[in-house]
Amino acid sequence: MNTIHHWTTANIPDQTGRIAVITGANSGLGYQTALALASKNAHVVMACRNLAKANAARDKILQQTPEASLTVMALDLADLASIRAFAAAFLTRYDRLDLLINNAGIMIPPLRHTADGFELQFGTNHLGHFALTSLLLERLMEQPNSRIVTVSSIVAHIGRIKFDDLMHQRRYNRWLAYGQSKLANLLFASELQRRLVAAKATPISLAAHPGGSTTNLQHAGIGIDNAFSQKLLMLLVSPFLQSAAMGALPQLYAVTAPGVQGGDYLGPGDWFGITGYPAKARLPWSARDQTAANWLWHESERLTGVSYDALIPQVEPATTP
């Protein structure tokens, strides 16, 4: 991978007039993304499950950037009713949307389920964002330079789509379930881009990953129930990780940098994609399977009850011979 000129938040163009929705904006990568975009004059909608933490994060950003324009709105990606309520409230309140950053995620918890009965990681990380994007697509398609960035993980390389057991009902392995959800993010981002092109729609879809970054997601999701063991493991691995601010750079590059193209995948450019400044990342082979992506798309529509009718390919009008 070739690092993109040591790109940092200082390189973000002015975002005046643009509206961004960031899921999970109260901590980690989402917080850093909100801080950076608000600092560049975007209006940032912080879409978060925990409103108390989201309001505290908003206040912290305002302390650093008093002129920042921020709104906190409730969104629980593990509940389709909450997703629909958020989308309805957003569409009523805002007449435009330029940037959608599908950032929030759940990492390697014990077996749990969403409000709708989906395995928690697949239901939150993939199905939640799949449904949210569909419901907000109306506003995104009205802007000529809108972007949709879906955040994946290097763990997607171990991911496999369990076509006959998406919810891991037969045997649950938290790491394999997480890998499947992150692979699903990549398949979704790529398939969305193909469908946007076929429909001659204006938004572009990209994906990004943070490499190895120290975030609340990792601290809370080590997969070790003993608190002492969890802290010990983090102490051992932390020297090999980068900050959340560095980890957020690939998604910030994807959502703001001139010259990016639909279908691009961004990640850290050094040390096997674990650390460094943004660079073009290598898609796992399994993420290039268009048959799997198409199947997952239709299955996700069925499970969530949403429709991407706006992306039905446009047919050129017949010409008179």
Point out the residues that are catalytic.
178
Tokens of 149: 């960035």
Longest dimension (CA), the chain: 77
Quick check: 42 and 19 in contact, CB under 8 A? yes
Tokens of 26: 């109260």
Helix intervals (H) in 113-153: 120-121, 129-140
Q: Which of 207, 248, 275, 208 is nearest to 37 (CA)?
A: 248
Say how many residues make up the chain. 321
Q: Annotate 165-195 with b (16+ C-beta within 10 A) or e (fewer).
A: ebbbeeeeebebbbbbbbbbbbbbbbbbbbb
19, β-bridge pairs: 43
Quick check: 213 and 242 in contact, CB under 8 A? yes
Give the separation between CA 157 and CA 145, rounded to whole angstroms.
Answer: 30
Give the separation between CA 242 and CA 250, rounded to whole angstroms.
Answer: 13
Give the separation between CA 307 and CA 113, rounded to whole angstroms.
Answer: 23
CA angle 105, 167, 214 (to 5 degrees): 25
